[in-house]
């Protein structure tokens, strides 16, 4: 069991955006299945008055990661488009702090910390433990967890609220193994007291 701590725990929702869900341009298998689970975590953090931060992939229309530019991905999460919006089923409270990343045409950024003021915001809030879920396990979640550990946060991976792209079979397991090596604690909803 984990007791949420009143002033040092934050929820980080990584890149839960229409383009990463079934029907989107870079659909992650079962990506939609994490939404009701995340809504439960959101309720718990809201009830405890704890901060919620949501990262979003927020690309310019000719981002270097797109296949048209020689990158690995189809166009996705172009700023201001429907595909870049959070799905309406995701119940983010209006106080949610939104972190836009990978906004520069010539620079990829998988981590929510990369090129953003996420660390500064969390420090200002006095946060020490981060509860991280979202998409995709093997890209933006992994890289966000890695940077969170480098910045000295204790990290809890919401194991029931992440899904992987798995471009290569085994990518998800590799990502989970790395996060375990980084001393991330894996939890599910039922672990929250
Ligand atoms: C992501 C691929 C490309 C992610 C972002 O959010 O995991 N994956 N851009
Ligand atoms: Zn992207």
> Which position has the token pair 């106080």?
95
Please give the domain boundaries of the chain with CATH numbers for all domains.
9-191 (3.40.50.850)
Predicted local confidence at residue 78, as pLDDT: 98
| CA angle 107–94–29, rounded 5-degree value | 55
Kindly report the pTM of this predicted structure: 0.98
Nearest-CA residue for ligand 1 atom 2 is 139
| Atom from ligand 1 closest to the CA of residue 143 | 7
Three-state secondary-structure class, residue 138: helix
Residue 117: what pLDDT?
98
pLDDT confidence of residue 59: 98
CA of 46 to the centre of ligand 1 (A): 27
For residue 88, the model assigns a pLDDT of 98
Query: How many angstroms separate the CA atoms of 159 and 4, rounded?
Result: 17
Q: Ligand 1: residues whose CB is within 6 Å?
A: 15, 57, 65, 73, 135-136, 139-140
* pLDDT in the model for residue 46: 98
How many whole angstroms from its chain centre is CA 1? 23
Query: Which pLDDT score is estimated for 187?
Result: 98
Report helix angle 171-181 to 142-150, nearest 10.
10
User: Which segments of the chain have a pLDDT < 70?
Assistant: none
Tell me which of 12, 20, 109, 134 to substitute to probe ligand 1's pocket, judged by most ligand atoms within 8 Å of the beta carbon. 20
Q: Indicate the DSSP class of residue 86.
A: P
The closest-lying atom of ligand 1 relative to the alpha carbon of residue 141 is 7
Whole-angstrom Cα distance, residue 110 to residue 16? 13
- The CB density around residue 47, as the number of other CB atoms within 10 Å, is 9
What is the per-residue pLDDT for 16? 99
């Amino acid at each position: 069991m984990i007791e949420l701590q009143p002033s040092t725990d934050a929820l980080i929702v990584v890149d839960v955006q229409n383009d990463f869900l079934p029907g989107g341009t870079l659909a992650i298998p079962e990506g939609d299945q994490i939404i009701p689970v995340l809504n439960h975590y959101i309720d718990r953090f809201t009830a405890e008055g704890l901060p919620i931060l949501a990262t979003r992939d927020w690309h310019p229309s000719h981002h270097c990661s797109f296949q048209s530019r020689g990158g690995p991905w189809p166009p996705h999460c172009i700023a201001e488009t429907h595909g870049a919006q959070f799905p309406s089923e995701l119940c983010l409270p209006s106080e949610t702090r939104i972190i836009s990343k990978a906004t520069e045409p010539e620079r990829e950024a998988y981590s929510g910390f990369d090129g953003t003021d996420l660390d500064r915001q969390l420090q200002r809030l006095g946060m020490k433990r981060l509860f991280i879920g979202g998409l995709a396990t093997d890209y933006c979640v992994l890289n966000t967890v890695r940077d969170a550990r480098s910045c000295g946060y204790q990290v809890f991976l919401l194991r029931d609220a992440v899904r992987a792209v798995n471009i290569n079979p085994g990518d998800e397991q590799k990502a989970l193994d790395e996060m375990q090596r980084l001393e991330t604690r894996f939890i599910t909803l039922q672990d929250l007291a």
